[in-house]
């Protein structure tokens, strides 16, 4: 029993069966890939059948030291979405344009700065054009100042008719017309601005004495909010036109980048903070970040989380290679590349009978035998693509002693225990880090065992 309470397999007890397996598998060359049954009998197999037997890869769970690329961007318009339902964000730049309403001239109320044309049909010398002063008044001959702001043209006509009737300077009933020749364009133009939404989510429109909160509103809702505030200082509701230039993608640039899973299992993401990553898949991490971003922005974001460096996905290469040991999967995605990473084959290696030992997600082991020698001849058909925790074994050209085989290769190389459990310890780091890792049905506890010689993982590989 080791310090973690797990026992190592006594491979010598399996020497006769292992020798029989090797004699059948390692000494009988193959021209293509086969799968070996528990008795060592070969059966032809295709890459598609290998994939089916291996099952779908369990989602890789992040480990300490893994690097994850995070990218944040505004969710793009997709078919079926409501057109332009963008919600205004802090920092957005927008053009705010106020114009006089069109159409309902009878209901229009005269405002400060409007140019009014007043005509007397029977007394043309009294005809005049007047601009409404800032106090809302106009000055008319013989009657003096008349309040015009806030009245419709019809109301002002009636008021002037009554005033001139009282003066007696016009015979009979005065016949007067009032027209708004020009609504004050300068005032509305002066209120129009290019505006940036402040950090408090508000904007200030010139001549409107209150701030308008628009962050989180759609463009239509923001236009209505501006119109409601403008109506408090204008006699008529203006037409409000908004052109929004979203700045959210620029704000999200600071969040993009590659993060490393720290020894405490967490990653730090700008504007979000610390998030537990170890023991979760990249997709689970992405969903967690997406939930946390719901309070960060008013619009949906597209977030990607891609593992760019996986320290936890390992393969084990042994037998007749220069350097038996454990290697990262990302550096050796195929059996031939794994052999090269281990320093290449030795003079005694039998490349036409390379064994790949694999467990599917349910824990069932398979042994595949393939002819890697063909790769050196330019054919990659037999170069099996590896998965995490695969064992690549290159046999000798001749092995006669079962005990020697067990001692030299199995005990030293195959890092599995004698159970099919789902716990394991990697003796590869300087502190113990527990996570809920399910990578290839093994946990990712990392422990230093003083004096430990190897790496142990539970589960038998061969079951003769």
Same domain, 196 and 337: no
> What pLDDT, on a 0 to 100 scale, did the predictor assign at position 19?
45
Q: Are residues 168 and 288 in the same domain?
A: no
Residue 124 is predicted with a pLDDT of 83
- Here the CATH number for the domain that contains residue 421 is 3.10.560.10
The Cβ of residue 154 has, within 10 Å, a number of other Cβ atoms equal to 12
pLDDT level of residue 114 (50, 70, 90 thresholds): confident
pLDDT on residue 266: 93
57 versus 195: which is more confidently predicted? 195
Domain boundary among 263, 288, 309: 309
Q: Say whether both 238 and 262 belong to one domain.
A: no
Low-confidence winner among 186-195, 279-288, 443-452 (lowest mean pLDDT): 443-452
Measured CA to CA, the distance from residue 194 to residue 207 in angstroms comes to 15
Task: Establish if 6 belongs to a structural domain.
Answer: no
Taking 90 as the threshold, does the pLDDT of residue 146 lie above it? Answer: yes
Q: Residue 458 domain-assigned?
A: no
d(CA 132, CA 178): 13
Q: Are 386 and 335 in contact (CB under 8 A)?
A: yes
Co-location of 148 and 159 in the same domain: yes
Question: For position 345, what pLDDT does the model report?
Answer: 92
* 17: pLDDT strictly greater than 50: no
What pLDDT score does 426 carry?
Answer: 35
Final residue in a domain of this structure, among 158, 182, 206: 182
My answer on whether 196 and 305 are in the same domain is no
Q: What is the mean pLDDT of residues 171-195?
A: 81
Return mean pLDDT, the chain: 76
pLDDT band at 428 (very low <50, low <70, confident <90, very high): very low
Same domain? For 177 and 49 the reply is no
Number of domains in the chain: 4
Confidence of residue 397 (pLDDT cuts 50, 70, 90): confident
Looking at residue 81, its pLDDT comes to: 62
Confidence category of residue 332, pLDDT binned at 50, 70, 90: low
Q: Is residue 170 domain-resident?
A: yes
What per-residue confidence (pLDDT) applies to 102? 67
The candidate with the shortest Cα–Cα distance to 15, out of 412, 385, 404, is: 404
Whether residues 320 and 377 share a domain: the answer is: yes
Mean pLDDT within 293-303: 87
Would residue 21 count as lying in a domain?
Answer: yes
**Model confidence pLDDT, tens digit, residues 18-33:** 444 544 444 455 666 7
**Residue 335 and residue 402 in one domain:** yes
Rg (CA), the chain: 41
Most confident of 11-25, 32-46, 230-244: 230-244
In terms of domains, do 218 and 291 share one? no
Domain coverage including residue 397: 11-60+312-446
Residue 18 lies in a domain: yes
Q: Is 340 among the domain residues?
A: yes
Which residue in the block uniquely carries the two structure tokens 């009933």?
173
Sole residue written with tokens 């690097």 = 67
Residues 76 and 46 in one domain: no
Inform me whether the pLDDT recorded for 433 exceeds 70. no
**What pTM, to 2 d.p., does this model score?**
0.52
Does 451 fall in a domain? no
> Do 123 and 218 fall into the same domain?
no
Report pLDDT digits (tens) over 68-90.
999 998 887 666 666 568 899 99
**Better pLDDT: 3 or 286:** 286
Among 182, 205, 222, identify where a domain stops: 182
CA distance 93 to 454: 60
- Residue 417: band (very low, low, confident or very high) from pLDDT cuts 50, 70, 90: very low
Asked if pLDDT for residue 423 goes beyond 70, the answer is no
For residue 268, pLDDT beyond 90: yes
- The residue-averaged pLDDT of 350-377 equals 83
pLDDT band at 267 (very low <50, low <70, confident <90, very high): very high
Cα three-residue angle 248-250-256, rounded to 5 degrees: 105
* Contact predicate 339/435, CB 8 Å: no
User: What is the per-residue burial (b if ≥16 Cβ within 10 Å, else e) of 22-49?
Assistant: bebbbeeebeebbbbeeebebeebeeee
15 within some domain: yes
The CATH code of the domain that includes 241 is 3.30.1950.10
pLDDT(369) > 80 = yes
The yes-or-no verdict on residue 399 having pLDDT over 60 is no
Residues 342 and 402 in one domain: yes
pLDDT band of 435, cuts 50, 70, 90:
very low
């Amino acid at each position: 029993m080791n310090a973690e309470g797990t026992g190592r397999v006594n491979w010598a007890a399996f020497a006769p069966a292992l020798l029989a397996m090797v004699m059948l598998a390692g000494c009988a060359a193959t021209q293509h890939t086969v799968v070996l049954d528990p008795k060592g009998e070969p059966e032809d197999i295709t890459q598609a059948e290998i994939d089916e037997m291996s099952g779908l890869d369990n989602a890789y769970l992040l480990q300490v030291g893994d690097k994850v690329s995070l990218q944040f961007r505004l969710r793009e318009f997709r078919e079926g979405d409501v057109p332009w339902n963008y919600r205004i964000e802090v920092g957005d730049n927008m053009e705010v344009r106020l114009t006089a309403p069109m159409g309902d001239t009878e209901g229009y109320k005269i405002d400060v700065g409007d140019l009014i044309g007043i005509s007397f049909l029977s007394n043309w010398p009294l005809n005049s054009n007047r601009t409404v002063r800032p106090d809302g008044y106009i000055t008319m001959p013989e009657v003096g100042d008349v309040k015009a702001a806030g009245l419709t043209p019809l109301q002002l006509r009636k008021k002037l008719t009554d005033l001139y009737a009282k003066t007696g300077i016009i015979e009979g009933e005065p016949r007067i017309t009032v027209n708004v020749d020009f609504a004050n364009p300068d005032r509305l133009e002066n209120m129009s601005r290019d505006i940036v939404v402040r950090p408090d989510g508000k904007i200030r429109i010139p001549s409107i004495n209150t701030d308008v909160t628009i962050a989180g509103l759609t463009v239509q809702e923001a236009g209505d909010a501006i119109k409601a505030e403008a109506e408090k200082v204008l006699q008529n509701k203006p037409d409000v036109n908004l052109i929004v230039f979203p700045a959210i993608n620029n704000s999200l640039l600071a969040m993009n980048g590659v993060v490393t899973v720290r020894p405490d299992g967490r990653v730090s993401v700008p504007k979000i903070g610390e998030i537990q990553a170890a023991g979760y898949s990249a997709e689970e991490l992405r969903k967690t970040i997406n939930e946390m971003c719901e309070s960060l922005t008013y619009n949906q974001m597209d977030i990607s989380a891609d593992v760019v460096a996986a320290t936890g996905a390992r393969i084990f290469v042994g037998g007749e290679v220069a350097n038996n040991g454990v290697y990262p999967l990302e550096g050796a995605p195929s059996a031939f590349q794994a052999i090269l990473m281990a320093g290449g084959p030795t003079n005694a290696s039998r490349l036409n009978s390379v064994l790949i030992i694999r467990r599917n997600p349910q824990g069932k082991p398979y042994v595949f035998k393939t002819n890697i020698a063909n790769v050196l001849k330019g054919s990659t058909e037999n170069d099996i693509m590896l998965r995490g925790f695969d064992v690549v074994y290159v046999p000798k050209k001749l092995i006669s002693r079962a005990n020697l085989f067990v001692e030299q290769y199995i005990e030293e190389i195959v890092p599995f225990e004698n159970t099919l459990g789902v716990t394991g310890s990697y003796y590869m780091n300087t502190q113990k880090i527990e996570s809920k890792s399910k990578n290839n049905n093994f946990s990712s506890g990392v422990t230093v065992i003083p004096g430990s010689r190897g790496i142990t993982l539970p589960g038998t590989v061969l079951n003769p």
